[in-house]
Structures are given as C-alpha cells and as structure tokens.
C-alpha cells in the first residue's frame, strides 16, 4: 500500500515537473514579429591581398559560450557562437568569403566550458571525453571539396584547449583548397552524437566561394548590400530566453533524451526572430541556407513576388529558373534573385507553408509560417544588375561512364510502441567496416531507397551529385519485408518493384548538388562524381587518406542516431 502511495507521489511529482516545464516555455505568439532588423553577420576574408594579388589566408575562429539576443523582447539566450574573438562571436557565425583557387586555412579552437547548455544522450553513439571535462566539437565545411583530414570527421572531435581528442583527430588547422566551382557552402559542428545539439546551440556559419572571372560577367546583384546570406533556422525558447530542447526522449527507456526530430516555432533569420529588412526597389540576391535540425521550409512571398533560382546548393544552374515557391530541406541552400521593383506593394512577407515533419506532419500556423518581412522603398532604383538567360553550364552527368552502381537503403527501426529508436543506412551502424569505396576521379550511380516514412535529405561529403530520376516502389510492403530480412536490393529484385510513377526533379534542383530530398517509398537514382565538375583535372589534394569521408541524412537528429556511414575514396 505504502509502495503504491510512494509510486503515486512519484508520478505526481513527475507530472508536476512536466507541467512546470510546460509553464516555463515561451509562447511564440508573445513575440511581436518583424521588429528586429535583419543582421548582416561579420565577414572574414578567406584570402589576403598582397601587392594587389590574393594570397592564402590563415583564420583563427573560436567557439565561445556567450549570450545572444534573438528578439527585442526575449532575454539574452546562452548560446555557442563562432567568432574571431569572444566579443565578435555571433549566431550564426561570421561569413567566410573565399576566393576560387586561393587556399583558406582555419584554426578552429574550442573555448567551451564543460557543461552543455542543452540536454544530450549518451545512449546513442556519442563523442565522450574520458575525463568528461569538455564539450566535443569538430567543424565540417558543408559542400567543401578538400582533404579528409580537414573534413571534420565526426570522431575527429576535440575539447577546449585540445585537452582531449577523438580517435580520428588529425590536425588543429584545417586546409580548404577552394579549387572547386564558385558557390554556397556552410560550416557547422559535426561531433559524433552531438551534431544536433551543438548546431541547436548556435554552431553554424556561412562560407561563400567566389570566382570573379566567371561570375563577374553574369552581372548578378553583387556587393554587400545586394548579395546577402540568409541563414534560417527554427528554435523553441523558454520564457527566460534559454533554448528549449526536450530532455525526455520519445522512447525514454531506450534513449533517455533522443527524439527523432527537433522543431521549434520561432523562425530565426541571421540570429533574429522574424526580422525585417528595408530594401530598395531593385534586384537582390539571397543565398538562403536552411540550418534547421529537421524543419523543411517551403518559401513563398505573400505578395506574389517570384524567386529566380540561379544556383542550387553547390553550383550554378545552366539557366535561371523562375518559381513562386521553393522547398528547402535542412541544410539545402536556395540561391535566388528577387526583384523588388516588380512588387505591387510596399511590404512583402517571406512565408513558409511546409507541414512538419515534411510532408505529412502538422500544418504551419502564424508563428512558424512566417519568416521575415521586407519593407520596400517607394522610389524605383537604377539597377544595372540582371539575370542573364545563360548562367554557368557544367558538363552534364554521363551515366554511361559510371564505374559502380550501389544501393543505399534507408531504414528506420521502431520500439514496440511504434516510436522510432534509431535509423541506419544499409542496416549498418556507423562503426561497421566501410562499404562505399569509390575510386578517385570516377562517377558512380547510387540508388537511394527510402524504406521509412520520412523524407531524408541525403548529404554526401566530397562528391557532388545530380539527381537522375525518382521512381515509386510498387508493392512496397512486400519489398520492405524482403529488405528487412536480406538487406540486399539486388537479391530482393528491386527492378521488379521500382516500376511505379516517376517523380520529376524540380528544374532548380537539376544541377550539381550535395543534398537531395529522398522521397519515402521511392528509389532515387543519383550520379555521384568524385572529381571536380568544372574541369577534368583530378583533385588538387589527396582524397584517399585517413579518416576518409562520410555520407549521411541531414536531419541532424537522424544523423546522430546514426544515419551516417563512412566513405573512403581509393586510388
Ligand atoms: C517531451 O517529450 C516527451 C516524450 O515524447 C513528451 O511526453 C513531453 O510532452 C515533451 N515535453 C514537452 C514540454 O513538449
Ligand atoms: C506564379 O503565380 C502566378 C499567379 O498564380 C502565376 O501567374 C505565375 O505563372 C506563377 N509563376 C511561376 C513561375 O510558376
Ligand atoms: C531545413 O533543413 C532541415 C534539415 O536538413 C529540413 O528538415 C528542413 O526541411 C529544411 N527547411 C527548409 C525550409 O528547407
Ligand atoms: C503555432 O503552433 C505552435 C506549436 O503548436 C505554438 O506553440 C504556437 O503558439 C502557435 N502560434 C500561434 C500564433 O498560434
Ligand atoms: C518514404 O517511404 C515510405 C515507405 O517506404 C513511405 O510510406 C513514405 O511516404 C515515404 N516518405 C516520403 C516523404 O515520401
Ligand atoms: C571533360 O572531358 C570530356 C570528354 O572526356 C569533354 O567532353 C568535356 O568537355 C571536358 N570538360 C571540361 C570542362 O574540360
Ligand atoms: C592525417 O591526415 C593525413 C592526410 O590525410 C594522413 O595521411 C594521415 O594518416 C592522418 N593521420 C592520422 C593520425 O589520422
Ligand atoms: Cu533522415
């Protein structure tokens, strides 16, 4: 009897704690929208000028714990911020502006004190320093084509002062060659099992590679005022300003904290919640990076303004693509020109109508359905920028030369209560011996098979890919049944099942990419290229060293548990 009473009391206490946590949460509708100005993040040059010619630069960028104000009416939030110094550190971090063909070296330094500002989960494979005296971090430059030792391997983590290091740690200063096509990249934390929380805490920033000789003649909107990065993410906050992440997992008896997807209802652009920007009545270029953990955005303008896509997430398109809306998966980048001279109104709200989780989750509302507001000046401006009919054409993928065909199956595993417990690629944990070993300089065809309920944005380090086609799997349950037993797409006769309807690839996503949304129940065929796309020369570095590369789902909560596999390039 006494025992039951005790249990009862315990339960009440637990419920009390839960509702107390609920009470501490900020209701996003309490924050007025469009009151803070859109910040421009500090810029750090990836090169230095010497006698009027650009030379390699060495940057020193730290990770600092500090406070950041996300909204006028929200108390300052403890965050982890990248910056050249504590005082200049921002969320997102500084934008690194690199030049094609000129090396950028970055010494990434961890200044984070030991206790994490967010909850994490030691029951998923996680970087854990033996003395537990620091926060493991390691930086990956997303979209970068560079040596393995500078790729930010998840096990190459380090803590403050490099006191402790992960098993594949290699060097303190990373080397980015910038010999690839001009485009939009971003850097972010990649530590094993902590990526979702370290990004949520603020460890993200933009990186642009420019190539004036080839981009200049295009005459797209340029310069700091008219060519801007928008780093978009969603967060939940407590009333005291702190970032809220649920500390109870969806399967607490298996994983005390891990949840399959993080969503927040406050939409943050360049570190401010629903900011505003006054623009001139002319063309602007926006490089929009979706840095959410799991939220997809489908952007559109409330006043009907169009987006002109000029590049996909990693390379220019051959020709511009006009669209009324644009769907961005986590970590995808939309590079668009918006012509405010075409606006019939003096204000335009950039909005979002993607259900979450995408595509079958909850509809958006007033909070998460708004992104930011543009206030458009009345006077028409002289605008010499343009969007030419032809942008930059890269050789199309040649499937006839593919050196390998691979099948990459995405699996989700659930508990008896049908809650996701973990996700694997090819039914293998990350630690299982490497199976993807492409030869440097070759192309391969990967058939990515989504056997889960979700749309997984697949990201490949080093290799760029183009999407060839997406085919629905017929008799899916039968195929899934076979795959769950055999885990072998060929033995399960995939060609017998990949016969359903074909999904088109949106025009603005037909170029070379580094992330693509893998539609559930479909097999997505991609051609992955392990060489540069703008020349036929081999890489200007050795891609074959340790610790190699990885490929993974870019829903960070999936990547951490553990929708990630090694990728080792061979000679
Ligand atoms: C946290 O997650 C648990 C498990 O899914 C859930 O029961 C609880 O309601 C969540 N808490 C909040 C405040 O959303
Ligand atoms: C955008 O929407 C308008 C109005 O519905 C339509 O006339 C126009 O053709 C659309 N543009 C594109 C590129 O889809
Ligand atoms: C942003 O990226 C996340 C994670 O990769 C994805 O789930 C989400 O859908 C993306 N949102 C937009 C608007 O692209
Ligand atoms: C939108 O939905 C979220 C999540 O349910 C909620 O927290 C928020 O208050 C809602 N916003 C509005 C304006 O209703
Ligand atoms: C992923 O595939 C599953 C079945 O394998 C399907 O039920 C689900 O709808 C697919 N997800 C998307 C986003 O298409
Ligand atoms: C690369 O080589 C192929 C044939 O080997 C040729 O068609 C193509 O134009 C070359 N591309 C570049 C950028 O030189
Ligand atoms: C460090 O990286 C270099 C270059 O990739 C490689 O040759 C070397 O084996 C690596 N060392 C360790 C300890 O991983
Ligand atoms: Cu995923």
In Å, the largest CA–CA distance within the chain is 86
Tokens representing residue 247 in the block: 């500390």
Among 23-32, 124-133, 215-224, 339-348, the range scoring the smallest mean pLDDT is 124-133
Among 80-84, 127-131, 449-453, 469-473, the range scoring the smallest mean pLDDT is 449-453
Name the CATH topology of 28-211.
Immunoglobulin-like (2.60.40)
Q: For ligand 1, is residue 302 a contact (CB within 6 Å)?
A: no
Domain 227-380 has CATH 2.60.40.420: yes
CATH number for the 399-567 domain, one of 3.30.470.10, 2.30.31.10, 2.60.40.420, 3.30.710.10?
2.60.40.420
Q: Which of 466, 508, 183, 467 is nearest to 321 (CA)?
A: 508
State CA 360 to chain mean position distance.
21
Better-predicted residue by pLDDT, 3 or 197: 197
Contacts of 232 (CB under 8 A, 6+ apart): 267, 268, 269, 288, 289, 290, 291, 292, 297, 328, 371
Which ligand ends up closest to the CA of 149?
A: 7
Which ligand ends up closest to the CA of 503?
A: 5
> Looking at ligand 2, which residue's alpha carbon is closest to its atom 2?
324
Q: For ligand 1, is residue 419 a contact (CB within 6 Å)?
A: no
> Quick one: 508 exposed, middle or buried, by C-beta within 10 A (0-12, 13-18, 19+)?
buried
Helices (H) and strands (E) in the chain, counts: 6, 32
> Looking at ligand 1, which residue's alpha carbon is closest to its atom 14?
246
Residues of the chain with CATH 2.60.40.420: 28-211, 227-380, 399-567
| 137/81 Cα distance (integer angstroms) | 12
pTM summary value: 0.87
Residues with CB under 6 A from ligand 7: 147-149, 170, 545-547
Cβ atoms of 30 and 84 within 8 Å: the answer is no
Contacts of 118 (CB under 8 A, 6+ apart): 197, 200, 201, 243, 245
> Looking at ligand 3, which residue's alpha carbon is closest to its atom 2?
330
What pLDDT, on a 0 to 100 scale, did the predictor assign at position 1?
46
- 11-53 per-position pLDDT tens digit: 555 556 667 888 899 999 999 999 999 999 999 999 999 999 9
Run of H or E including 289: strand 283-290
Residues with CB under 6 A from ligand 4: 27-29, 265, 365-367
Tokens representing residue 140 in the block: 């990956």
Categorize the per-residue pLDDT at 329 as very low, low, confident or very high, splitting at 50, 70 and 90: low
What pLDDT, on a 0 to 100 scale, did the predictor assign at position 290?
84
- 349-396 per-position pLDDT tens digit: 998 887 787 777 887 877 788 889 999 999 998 999 999 999 999 988
Query: Quick count: other Cβ atoms within 10 Å of Cβ 434?
Result: 14
What pLDDT, on a 0 to 100 scale, did the predictor assign at position 10?
56
Ligand 1 atom closest to the CA of 249, numbered from 1 = 4
Ligand 3 atom closest to the CA of 515, numbered from 1 = 5
Tokens representing residue 352 in the block: 């979002």
Mean pLDDT of 181-201: 95
| CB under 5 Å of ion ligand 8: residues | 456, 553, 555, 558
């Amino acid at each position: 009897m006494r025992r039951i009473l005790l249990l009862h009391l315990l339960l009440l206490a637990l419920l009390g704690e839960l509702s107390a946590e609920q009470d501490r949460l900020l209701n996003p509708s309490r924050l007025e929208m469009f009151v803070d100005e859109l910040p421009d993040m500090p810029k750090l040059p990836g090169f230095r000028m010497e006698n009027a010619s650009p030379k390699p630069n060495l940057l020193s960028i730290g990770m600092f714990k500090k406070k950041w104000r996300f909204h006028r009416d929200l108390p300052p939030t403890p965050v982890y911020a990248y910056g050249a110094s504590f005082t200049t550190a921002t969320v997102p971090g500084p934008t690194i502006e690199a030049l094609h063909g000129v090396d950028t070296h970055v010494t990434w330094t961890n200044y984070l004190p030991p206790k994490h500002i967010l909850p994490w989960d030691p029951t998923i494979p996680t970087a854990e320093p033996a003395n537990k005296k620091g926060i493991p971090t390691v930086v990956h430059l997303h979209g970068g084509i560079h040596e393995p030792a500078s790729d930010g391997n998840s096990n190459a983590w380090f803590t403050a002062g490099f006191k402790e290091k992960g098993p594949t740690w290699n060097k303190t200063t990373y080397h980015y060659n910038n010999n690839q096509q001009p485009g939009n990249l971003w850097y972010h934390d990649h530590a094993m099992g902590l990526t979702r929380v370290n990004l949520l805490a603020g460890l993200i920033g933009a990186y642009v590679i420019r190539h004036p000789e080839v981009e200049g003649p295009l005459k797209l909107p340029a310069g700091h005022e008219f060519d801007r990065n928008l780093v978009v993410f969603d967060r939940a906050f407590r009333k005291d300003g702190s970032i809220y992440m649920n500390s109870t997992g969806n399967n607490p008896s298996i994983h005390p904290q891990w949840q399959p997807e993080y969503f927040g209802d406050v939409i943050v652009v360049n570190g401010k919640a629903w900011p505003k920007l006054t623009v001139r009545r002319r063309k602007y270029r926006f490089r929009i990076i979706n840095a959410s953990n799991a939220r997809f955005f489908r952007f559109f303008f409330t006043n009907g303004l169009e987006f002109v896509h000029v590049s996909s997430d990693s390379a220019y398109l051959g020709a511009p693509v006009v669209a009324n809306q644009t769907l961005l998966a986590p970590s995808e980048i939309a590079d668009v020109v918006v012509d405010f001279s075409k606006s019939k109104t003096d204000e335009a709200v950039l909005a979002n109508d993607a259900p979450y989780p995408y595509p079958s989750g909850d509809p958006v509302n007033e909070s998460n359905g708004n992104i930011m507001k543009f206030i458009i000046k009345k006077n028409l401006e002289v605008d010499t920028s343009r969007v030419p009919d032809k942008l930059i054409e890269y050789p199309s993928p040649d499937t006839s030369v593919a050196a390998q065909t691979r099948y990459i199956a995405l699996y989700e595993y659930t508990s008896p209560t049908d809650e996701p417990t973990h996700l694997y690629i090819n039914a293998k944990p990350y630690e299982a011996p490497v199976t993807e070993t492409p030869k440097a300089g070759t192309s391969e065809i990967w058939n990515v098979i989504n056997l889960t309920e979700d749309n997984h944005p697949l990201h490949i380090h080093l290799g760029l890919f183009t999407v060839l086609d997406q085919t629905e799997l017929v008799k899916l349950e039968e195929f899934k049944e076979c795959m769950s037993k055999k885990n072998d797409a060929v033995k399960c006769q995939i060609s017998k099942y990949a016969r359903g309807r074909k999904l088109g690839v949106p025009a603005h996503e037909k170029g070379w990419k580094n992330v693509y949304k893998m539609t559930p129940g479909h097999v997505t065929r991609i051609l992955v290229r392990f060489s540069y796309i703008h020349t036929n020369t081999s890489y200007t570095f050795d891609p074959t060293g340790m610790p190699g590369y990885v490929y993974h789902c870019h829903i960070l909560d999936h990547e951490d548990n553990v929708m990630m596999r090694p990728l080792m390039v061979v000679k």
